[in-house]
């Protein structure tokens, strides 16, 4: 392909160590790229650039500081080349610091802060200026940028293929493979490896170097990092005579010509292929794949997501959208958390799964220990299931088995609240709101449950005792046949994003105790901090008999749920067999207690607890409440409310989800309205500016009458 047709692409260049030869390789590659461009089509406007996101050991200057040492070396490598627009700068350093040390130290000394995301954004702005950009990191992959982030975070935020420069010497196999492991653990793609020599050859070392090259060629290719070139030591690069230096750069560039061609073709070719594939992918999806609550074919409009980091999702066309949904409550900690990826990859390498019948393992035990320590008092046993709905099924079965064991087999019905949502499997569906849960479609198979009025008392107003009277009466009247009452504590989610008063929940608990009804708290959506408490039951200071957890349990990385029960419930079900009862809980999914899911869940719970989640959730509550307030006076809006990291605009009539979502994507946000609610529940780490973009976009949609 002609380089002229290459899109704006590039690669990130890192090394096995400081002084591995990165700058020399970057400079020579820059020359090789430009020469290749000239040769392939002398008239074309193919541009290559090299940038150094952080340069230490130089005078702090303006952006694009030409005096930065590495920038000087890039420019030096281009001497003698007759480029179409010679005056055009083809190299720049973005942030410069005086001390010649690691970026985090140098920034600290200057009283400044380096942030991976900001650096990545600055790099992206530069990448648009050329067809191919080389981005040279500082030192190796784990060189710190600040107290929390290192070069790997910058690479992950950029998400460009990575070229690894290896100094071919004793120990380099070890350093190179460790770096490749670290890159793979962050999901980074390989552009390749370049081996170079940074010191003169010493007699007797040829065998060692040849072996290094052979081993790395084999292992690199296996890992998607083929060795693209082996470079000799060229002392003339620093010769006093400029002619000698120019000849040395020309020679090095010639040695990198194939590597340059490979990089242009594989990086930009890959993009061309991918964008062709993107159309095919969407067409296949439309014709063959079901999406939630949608027809099979033609399916609804969907966007292709290619990666996600922090609070943003990147789409195939390169756009980043601010995520307002936390992927349906799950990604509370944001995407691509290194500690979660580490937990996943380590567990995947050791033991992704074994059956739970007859076996146990550390990930399940340590997770269960942690959950019981955090959960409301009195919960004592854990049942691991595979999704939220399945945990609700298990909770319902537990309640029924409890009453069988307690000698009251007539208690077989469930009570639930109108406006509730508990999942899509049959048992779970039977306790969802009978209207929005579409009971009429499945009336033949759904058990008939008892529905109580939706709590009318708002979370943010004084509790009105009369609002509880009817519910109390019904529960007491029907208690003889009721096994359990299932509720979403304080926040009814998918059934309408309704926030009710904690006192209502407290009274439900009291009546259930008095009337002999188990209380099941479905904390699948509300658990792990979303409402401002770790569990929403804490608002009412109650403990349920059975509690379902899911969604954010694994930090949004994979599916897992847990059912926590009191000792009383677990003990009754487990009592030695009597009168045909099994003396055991009769449920056991194949992937029960998946070690992979449990390991990442434990890491997610630890990460949540170690974070300032309470401050973040309180900050988001204020931000969402203020940001959405202007919608309040718009015709067609019934209510605006915020609780924890949830903000809601409720409309008079159902909105057009596809039309609104299309509008939101064009605004750069990912918000999926549903029925009569336009709502957001962003990851807790969402920065203020992104939270504001979410609320501004919603306000704009309402101001333009999108909801009508
Ligand atoms: N309960 C509640 C409160 C939920 O919000 C959901 C999911 N939206 C579920 C249960 C069902 O969970 P899953 O989709 O994982 O089956």
Residue 248 CB partners (closer than 8 Å, separation 6+) = 234, 236, 237, 239
**Ligand 1 close to Cβ of residue 489 (< 6 A):** no
> How much is the pLDDT for 591?
97
Select which of 19, 181, 293, 513 is catalytic.
Answer: 293
**Ligand 1 close to Cβ of residue 126 (< 6 A):** no
> How much is the pLDDT for 455?
97
Q: Phi-psi bin for 80: left (phi > 0), alpha (psi -120 to 50), beta?
A: left
- For range 209-217, the mean pLDDT: 95
**Ligand 1 close to Cβ of residue 416 (< 6 A):** no
Beta strands in 389-524 (DSSP E): 413-417, 450-452, 482-487, 491-492, 498-499, 518-522
Position 415 pLDDT exceeds 60: yes
**Ligand 1 close to Cβ of residue 391 (< 6 A):** no
Tell me, in angstroms, the distance from the centre of ligand 1 to residue 494's CA: 8
DSSP letter string, 223-292: TT--EEEE----GGGG-SSHHHHHHHHHHHHHHTHHHHHHHIIIIIHHHHHHHHHHHHHHHHHHHH---T
Position 176 pLDDT exceeds 60: yes
> How much is the pLDDT for 359?
98
Q: Report the 10 Å Cβ neighbour count for 587.
A: 15
Confidence band for 468, pLDDT divided at 50, 70 and 90: very high
**C-alpha angle with apex 182: 181 to 187, nearest 5 degrees?**
90
pLDDT digits (tens, 9 = 90+) for 353-377: 999 999 999 999 999 999 999 999 9
**Whether residue 522 lies in the annotated active site:** yes
**Whether residue 421 lies in the annotated active site:** yes
Nearest protein Cα to ligand 1, atom 7: 423
Q: Of the candidates 402, 314, 388, which has an alpha carbon nearest to the alpha carbon of residue 582? A: 402
Position 2 pLDDT exceeds 50: no
Q: Which of 292, 550, 591 to mutate to test the pocket of ligand 1 (most atoms within 8 A of CB)?
A: 550
Buried b (16+ CB within 10 A) or exposed e, 67-94: ebebbbbbbbbbeebeeeeeeeebbbbb
Looking at the CA of residue 428, tell me the nearest atom of ligand 1: 10
pLDDT digits (tens, 9 = 90+) for 48-65: 999 999 999 887 765 556
* Distances from the Cα of 204 to the Cα of 168, 211, 367, angstroms: 14, 13, 54
Q: Report the 3 state secondary structure along 486-506.
A: EECCCEECCCCCEEECHHHHH
> How much is the pLDDT for 677?
97
pLDDT digits (tens, 9 = 90+) for 677-695: 999 999 999 999 999 999 9
- For range 619-633, the mean pLDDT: 97
> Mean pLDDT over all residues of the chain?
92
> How much is the pLDDT for 205?
85
Tell me, in angstroms, the distance from the centre of ligand 1 to residue 471's CA: 24
| 310 token code pair | 């922090």
> How much is the pLDDT for 236?
87
**Whether residue 293 lies in the annotated active site:** yes
**Ligand 1 close to Cβ of residue 388 (< 6 A):** yes
For residues 572 and 402, is the Cβ–Cβ distance under 8 A? yes
Tell me, in angstroms, the distance from the centre of ligand 1 to residue 423's CA: 5
Select which of 150, 153, 386, 522 is catalytic.
Answer: 522
**Whether residue 571 lies in the annotated active site:** no
**Lowest-confidence range among 245-254, 359-368, 597-606?**
245-254
For residues 519 and 485, is the Cβ–Cβ distance under 8 A? yes
Position 6 pLDDT exceeds 50: no
**Ligand 1 close to Cβ of residue 525 (< 6 A):** yes
Position 4 pLDDT exceeds 80: no
Q: pTM of the entire structure?
A: 0.79
**Ligand 1 close to Cβ of residue 387 (< 6 A):** yes
> How much is the pLDDT for 64?
55
**Ligand 1 close to Cβ of residue 524 (< 6 A):** yes
Q: What percent of the chain has a predicted confidence (pLDDT) above 70?
A: 96
Position 227 pLDDT exceeds 60: yes
> How much is the pLDDT for 438?
81
> How much is the pLDDT for 42?
62
| 261 token code pair | 């061609």
| 595 token code pair | 């070690």
Virtual torsion, Cα 177, 180, 185, 188, nearest 10 deg: -170
pLDDT digits (tens, 9 = 90+) for 288-312: 999 999 999 899 999 999 889 899 9
> How much is the pLDDT for 8?
61
Position 36 pLDDT exceeds 60: yes
| 55 token code pair | 């340069």
Tell me, in angstroms, the distance from the centre of ligand 1 to residue 360's CA: 27
> How much is the pLDDT for 388?
98
Looking at the CA of residue 526, tell me the nearest atom of ligand 1: 3
Question: Between the ranges 191-205, 225-239, 476-490, where is the mean pLDDT highest?
Answer: 476-490
> How much is the pLDDT for 1?
38
């Amino acid at each position: 392909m002609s380089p002229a047709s290459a899109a704006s692409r590039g690669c990130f260049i890192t090394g096995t160590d400081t002084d591995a030869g990165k700058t020399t390789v970057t400079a020579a590659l820059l020359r090789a790229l430009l020469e290749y461009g000239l040769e392939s089509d002398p008239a074309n406007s193919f541009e290559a650039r090299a940038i150094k996101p952080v340069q230490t050991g130089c005078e702090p200057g303006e952006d694009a500081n030409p005096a930065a040492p590495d920038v000087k070396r890039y420019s030096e490598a281009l001497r003698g080349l007759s480029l179409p627009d010679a005056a055009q700068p083809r190299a720049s350093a973005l942030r410069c610091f005086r001390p010649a040390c690691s970026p985090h130290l140098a920034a600290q000394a200057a009283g400044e802060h380096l942030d991976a995301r900001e650096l990545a954004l600055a790099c992206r702005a530069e990448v648009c200026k050329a067809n191919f950009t080389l981005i040279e990191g500082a030192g190796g992959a784990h060189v710190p940028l600040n107290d929390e982030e290192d070069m790997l975070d910058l690479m992950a935020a950029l998400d460009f293929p990575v070229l690894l420069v290896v100094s071919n010497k004793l120990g380099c196999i070890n350093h190179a493979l460790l770096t490749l492991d670290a890159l793979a653990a962050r999901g980074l793609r390989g552009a390749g490896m370049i081996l170079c020599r940074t010191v003169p050859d010493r007699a007797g070392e040829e065998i060692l170097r040849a072996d290094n090259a052979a081993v790395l060629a084999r292992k690199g290719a296996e890992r998607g990092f083929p060795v693209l070139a082996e470079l000799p030591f060229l002392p003339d690069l620093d010769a006093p005579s400029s002619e000698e230096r120019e000849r040395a750069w020309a020679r090095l560039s010639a040695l990198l010509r194939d590597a340059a061609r490979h990089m242009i073709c594989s990086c930009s070719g890959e993009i061309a292929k991918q964008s062709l594939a993107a159309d095919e992918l969407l067409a296949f999806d439309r014709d063959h794949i079901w999406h939630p609550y949608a027809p099979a074919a033609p399916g609804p409009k969907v966007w292709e997501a290619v990666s996600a980091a922090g609070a943003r999702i990147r789409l195939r066309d390169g756009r980043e959208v601010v995520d307002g949904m936390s992927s349906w409550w799950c990604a509370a900690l944001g995407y691509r958390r290194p500690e979660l990826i580490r937990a996943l990859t380590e567990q995947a390498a050791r033991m992704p799964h074994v059956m739970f019948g007859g076996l146990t393992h550390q990930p399940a035990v340590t997770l269960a220990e942690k959950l019981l320590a955090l959960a409301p008092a009195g919960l004592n046993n854990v049942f691991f299931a595979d999704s939220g709905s399945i945990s609700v099924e298990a909770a319902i079965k537990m309640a029924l088995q409890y009453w069988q064991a307690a000698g009251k087999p007539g208690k077989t019905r469930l009570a639930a609240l109108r406006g509730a949502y508990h999942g899509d499997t049959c048992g779970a569906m039977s306790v969802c709101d009978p209207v929005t849960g579409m009971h009429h479609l499945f009336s033949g198979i759904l058990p008939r449950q008892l529905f109580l009025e939706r709590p009318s008392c708002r979370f943010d107003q004084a509790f009105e005792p009369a609002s509880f009277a009817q519910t109390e009466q019904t529960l007491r009247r029907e208690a003889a046949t009721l096994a359990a009452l299932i509720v979403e504590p304080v926040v009814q989610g998918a059934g309408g994003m309704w926030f009710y008063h904690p006192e209502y929940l407290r009274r439900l608990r009291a009546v259930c105790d008095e009337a002999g009804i188990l209380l099941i708290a479905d904390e699948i959506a509300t658990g792990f901090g979303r409402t401002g408490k770790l569990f929403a039951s804490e608002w009412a200071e109650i403990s349920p008999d059975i509690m379902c957890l899911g969604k954010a349990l694994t930090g949004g990385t994979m599916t897992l749920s847990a059912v926590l029960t009191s000792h009383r419930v677990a003990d009754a079900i487990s009592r030695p067999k009597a009168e045909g009862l099994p003396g055991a809980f009769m449920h056991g999914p194949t992937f029960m207690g998946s070690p992979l899911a449990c390991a990442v869940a434990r890491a997610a719970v630890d990460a949540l607890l170690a974070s300032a989640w309470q401050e973040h959730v309180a900050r988001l509550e204020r931000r969402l409440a203020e940001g959405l307030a202007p919608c309040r006076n718009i015709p067609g809006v019934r209510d605006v409310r915020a609780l924890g990291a949830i903000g809601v605009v409720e409309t008079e009539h159902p909105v057009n989800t596809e039309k609104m979502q299309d509008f939101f994507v064009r605004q750069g946000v990912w918000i999926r309205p549903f029925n009569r609610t336009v709502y957001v529940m962003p990851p807790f780490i969402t920065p203020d500016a992104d939270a504001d973009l979410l609320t501004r976009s919603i306000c704009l949609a309402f101001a333009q009458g999108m909801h009508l």
